[in-house]
């Protein structure tokens, strides 16, 4: 997932989501103990972008969702794609710990994390850079990132990707 390849290409987001899910399957807990609901729209257009920008973004969101379910007996992941008239919408949801309302405004700040920063067991650890990097990666595409979360219920991240960018916004 190197950032060296910066050429744009036409990307099938459904295929990218499937690849990222397959990549997560190397973790046996993810593979065998997470109930996955995957609903991908058949009418998604290809999108011109740098593949690794979206691969890294979706991979980070999937890992965060998985980490949020660490203490859950039942782990449920939802992955959806859909299309509105002028947007592609990619959604990743979990039934994990949720995000307290007071933390929502800091979510995308560099080094903000609610995860442990050093491992003391097998619990998830973080640096607080994953969501910050997502914002940086998605900025050139004018992607709106929406978060719905409720403590002890779960969290859903939605990427609203405009099919057309403003004329003054250069392609990545």
Shortest CA distance to 89 belongs to which of 10, 157, 21? 157
| Local confidence band at 1 (pLDDT 50, 70, 90 cut-offs) | very low
**Does the pLDDT value for residue 56 go beyond 60?**
yes
What's the rounded Cα separation, in Å, for the pair 94 and 128?
19
**Does the pLDDT value for residue 14 go beyond 80?**
yes
pLDDT digits (tens, 9 = 90+) for 72-86: 999 999 999 999 999
Phi, psi of 161 (to 5 degrees): -100, 115
Mean pLDDT, the chain, whole residue set? 87
């Amino acid at each position: 997932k190197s950032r060296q390849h910066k050429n744009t290409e036409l990307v099938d987001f459904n295929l990218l989501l499937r690849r990222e899910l397959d990549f997560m399957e190397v973790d046996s807990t993810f593979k065998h103990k997470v109930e996955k609901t995957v609903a991908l729209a058949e009418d998604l257009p290809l999108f011109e972008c740098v593949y690794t920008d979206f691969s890294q973004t979706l991979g980070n969101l999937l890992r965060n969702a998985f980490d949020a379910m660490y203490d859950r007996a039942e782990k449920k992941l939802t992955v959806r794609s859909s299309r509105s008239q002028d947007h592609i919408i990619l959604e990743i949801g979990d039934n994990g710990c949720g995000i307290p309302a007071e933390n929502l405004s800091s979510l995308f700040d560099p080094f903000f994390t609610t995860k442990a920063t050093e491992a003391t067991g097998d619990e998830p650890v973080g640096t607080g850079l994953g969501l910050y990097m997502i914002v940086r990666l998605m900025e050139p595409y004018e992607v709106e990132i929406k978060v719905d979360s409720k403590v002890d219920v779960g969290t859903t991240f939605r990427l609203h990707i405009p099919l057309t960018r403003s004329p003054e916004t250069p392609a990545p």
